[in-house]
């Protein structure tokens, strides 16, 4: 039996209010489990970084864990873990978030910790230098000394886009990181970490009135500051093919990535949902179009994948973004043959459409992934927070599975027609060294 949109819609109530300092607060109570999640999402990500300060959004995420006015270094971690909770943070293209999941009775502890670092993180020369070294080591481990470390997420945008916001290295260059100063960090905090530039989202075992009282107790005293405008990240659609080549001495086999501009995730959500399902249809599972064609039938590829969004989460990003197909192939297979096969498969969907059974299979898998992410209190609360920040509606996170279930075959066909071979960005990776 096929699930209906009503079956797939999360029914958790969502309430919201705004403090005088501008902080937006979302409450998503669920009294079924004795756990709470606290998330603070700031409307600043990699695309907000100024020229000469690449990697600063991620660096500042690290700084936010180095203590604050009333919380010494390492005390945040100790207090959360002592209560039986977990914590973390993450940097994205358009936002940075911080979160805790704890037993319900520890809610006030998490609110105190987040309010304290929203008001006054410990921005010192010692903390800055220490965290620059930590980030540089992350880059060495995750990018410089790993096969395909920058491919394609750091390299393809440089070809596919024009503006600095979309093309620069969000992990950061060593030159930019090392030249960062305490004044830079203080300015970044003042500009982007104002209460009015953030969403506080609480989920789980909450009494709404008590939760609001605690939020006001700890966050009302945080001073209001001017909120920066959302940076323009949209770009005109490309009108020609763009291509580039990179070399990787650590890669055991060559690879190629194709990137197409897709509809605005916020302004054209219906068109965008068709693209999300198209990416799944192309590459997810043994029955997918590209897996059958490239890996099994023609044996042109070792592995392939397609996804929307820089980090593979299609619902955490604003315009502009890409559908990316990446293919790792044997050295004996010319890259031109791989690219032609990908275009042929996309063209077949554009010309012939997709059958209802094939689409239903892809929809069921995608819906299951969304519902699984929302199964935990923390996962659900993070989803509400991102939807509130990016789309202005926390409720959308609970509606996405139903919205995907309602996508029609013709919407996927239209999405395939948007993947024009004449406007694709192609990045070829040449394996120049192989394993050592």
Note the pLDDT of residue 7. 64
Q: Cβ distance 327 to 303 under 8 Å? A: yes
208 and 83, same domain (yes or no): yes
Give the start-end residues of each E strand in 3-95.
Answer: 15-18, 24-29, 35-42, 86-91
C-alpha 325/C-alpha 255 separation (Å) is 11
Q: Specify the pairing of strand 198-204 against strand 24-29.
A: parallel
Note the pLDDT of residue 42. 98
Q: Cβ distance 91 to 57 under 8 Å? A: yes
Note the pLDDT of residue 311. 85
Q: Specify the pairing of strand 96-103 against strand 35-42.
A: antiparallel
Note the pLDDT of residue 6. 52
Nearest to 378, CA basis, from 78, 24, 36: 36
Q: How far is CA 368 from CA 3, 276, 354, 365, in A?
A: 11, 14, 21, 5
C-alpha 274/C-alpha 276 separation (Å) is 5
Residue 295 lies in a domain: yes
Residue 227 lies in a domain: no
Band of residue 435 on the pLDDT scale cut at 50, 70, 90: very low
Per-residue pLDDT tens over the stretch 244-279: 999 999 999 999 999 999 999 999 999 999 999 999
Give the dihedral sign, CA 339/342/344/346: negative
C-alpha 197/C-alpha 22 separation (Å) is 8
Per-residue pLDDT tens over the stretch 333-345: 999 999 999 999 9
215 and 247, same domain (yes or no): no
Residue 181 lies in a domain: yes
| β-pair partners for 327 | 256, 304
Note the pLDDT of residue 122. 97
316 and 198, same domain (yes or no): no
Note the pLDDT of residue 130. 97
Average pLDDT for residues 285-289, to the nearest whole number?
A: 92
Q: What are phi and psi of 232, to 5 degrees?
A: -75, 115
202 and 268, same domain (yes or no): no
Domain span at 318 = 242-431
Identify the weakest region by mean pLDDT among 124-138, 366-380, 404-418: 366-380
Helical H runs in 120-229? 125-139, 156-160, 164-167, 174-178, 182-192, 208-219
Average pLDDT for residues 372-394, to the nearest whole number?
A: 94
Average pLDDT for residues 208-222, to the nearest whole number?
A: 98
Residue with tokens 């910790």, as numbered in its chain: 113
Residue 315 lies in a domain: yes
214 and 261, same domain (yes or no): no
Q: Which residues are within 8 A (CB) of 400 and not within 5 positions of it... i.e. 6 or more apart?
A: 315, 370
Among residues 219, 254, 275, the one where a domain terminates is: 219
C-alpha 128/C-alpha 177 separation (Å) is 10
126 and 250, same domain (yes or no): no
Q: Which CATH number goes with the domain that contains 201?
A: 3.30.830.10
Residue 436 lies in a domain: no
Among residues 175, 204, 219, the one where a domain terminates is: 219
Q: Does residue 89 surpass a pLDDT of 80?
A: yes
Nearest to 177, CA basis, from 140, 214, 202: 140
Q: Counting runs of H as helices and runs of E as strands, what totals does the chain give?
A: 17, 11
C-alpha 200/C-alpha 209 separation (Å) is 16
Note the pLDDT of residue 1. 40
Q: Which residues are within 8 A (CB) of 141 and not within 5 positions of it... i.e. 6 or more apart?
A: none
42 and 189, same domain (yes or no): yes
Residue 231 lies in a domain: no
Per-residue burial over 306-330, b = 16 or more CB atoms within 10 Å of its CB, e = otherwise: bbbbbeeebbbbbbbbbbbbbbbbe
Residue 201 lies in a domain: yes
Residues of the chain by 3-state class (helix, strand, coil), percent to 5: 45, 15, 40
Give the start-end residues of each E strand in 239-340.
Answer: 242-248, 255-261, 303-308, 322-328
Per-residue pLDDT tens over the stretch 49-58: 999 999 999 9
Domain count, the chain: 2
Per-residue burial over 340-352, b = 16 or more CB atoms within 10 Å of its CB, e = otherwise: ebbbebbeebbee
Residue with tokens 């923390």, as numbered in its chain: 378
| β-pair partners for 29 | 204
16 and 75, same domain (yes or no): yes
Q: What are phi and psi of 419, to 5 degrees?
A: -85, 75
276 and 413, same domain (yes or no): yes
| CA 28, chain centre distance (Å) | 22
Note the pLDDT of residue 12. 74
Q: Specify the pairing of strand 303-308 against strand 96-103.
A: unpaired
Average pLDDT for residues 182-193, to the nearest whole number?
A: 96
211 and 69, same domain (yes or no): yes
Q: Does residue 312 surpass a pLDDT of 90?
A: no
Note the pLDDT of residue 373. 87
Q: Does residue 2 surpass a pLDDT of 70?
A: no
286 and 211, same domain (yes or no): no
Residue 409 tokens read as: 């075959």
Q: Does residue 436 surpass a pLDDT of 60?
A: no
Residue 237 lies in a domain: no
400 and 276, same domain (yes or no): yes
């Amino acid at each position: 039996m096929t699930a209906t949109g009503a079956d797939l819609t999360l029914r958790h109530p969502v309430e919201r209010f705004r403090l005088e300092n501008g902080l937006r607060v979302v409450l998503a109570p669920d009294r079924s489990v004795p756990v709470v999640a606290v998330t603070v999402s700031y409307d600043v990500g990699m695309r907000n970084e100024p020229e000469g300060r690449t990697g600063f959004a991620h660096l500042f995420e690290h700084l936010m864990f180095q203590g604050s006015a009333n919380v010494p270094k390492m005390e945040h971690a100790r207090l959360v873990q002592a209560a039986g909770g977990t914590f973390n943070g993450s940097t994205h293209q358009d936002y940075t978030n911080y979160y805790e999941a704890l037993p319900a009775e520890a809610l006030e502890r998490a609110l105190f910790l987040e309010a304290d670092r929203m008001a006054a993180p410990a921005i010192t020369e010692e903390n800055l230098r220490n965290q620059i070294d930590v980030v540089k080591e992350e880059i060495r481990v995750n990018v410089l000394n790993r096969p395909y470390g920058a491919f394609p997420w750091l390299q393809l945008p440089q070809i596919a886009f024009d503006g600095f916001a979309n093309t620069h290295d969000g992990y950061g260059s060593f030159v930019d990181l090392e030249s960062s100063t305490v004044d830079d960090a203080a300015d970044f905090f003042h500009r982007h970490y104002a209460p009015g530039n953030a969403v506080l989202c609480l989920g789980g075992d909450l009494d709404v009135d008590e939760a609001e009282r605690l939020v006001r107790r700890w966050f009302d005293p945080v001073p209001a500051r001017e909120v920066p405008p959302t940076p323009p990240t949209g770009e005109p659609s490309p009108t020609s093919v763009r291509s580039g080549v990179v070399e990787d001495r650590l890669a055991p086999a060559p690879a190629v990535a194709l990137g197409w501009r897709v509809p605005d995730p916020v302004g054209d959500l219906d068109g965008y949902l068709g693209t999300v399902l198209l990416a799944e249809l192309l590459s997810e599972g043994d029955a997918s179009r590209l897996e059958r064609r490239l890996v099994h039938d023609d044996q042109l590829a070792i592995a392939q994948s397609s996804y929307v969004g820089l980090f593979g989460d299609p619902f955490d990003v604003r315009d502009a973004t890409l559908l990316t197909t990446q293919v790792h192939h044997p050295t004996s297979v010319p890259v031109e043959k791989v690219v032609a096969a990908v275009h042929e498969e996309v063209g077949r969907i554009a010309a012939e459409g997709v059958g209802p059974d094939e689409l239903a299979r892809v929809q069921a898998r995608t819906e299951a992934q969304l519902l699984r992410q929302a199964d935990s209190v923390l996962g659900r609360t993070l989803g509400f927070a991102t939807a509130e920040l990016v789309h202005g509606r926390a409720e959308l996170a609970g509606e996405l599975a139903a919205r995907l279930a309602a996508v029609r075959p013709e919407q996927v066909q239209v999405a395939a027609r948007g993947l024009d071979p004449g406007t694709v960005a192609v990045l070829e990776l040449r394996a120049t060294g192989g394993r050592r």
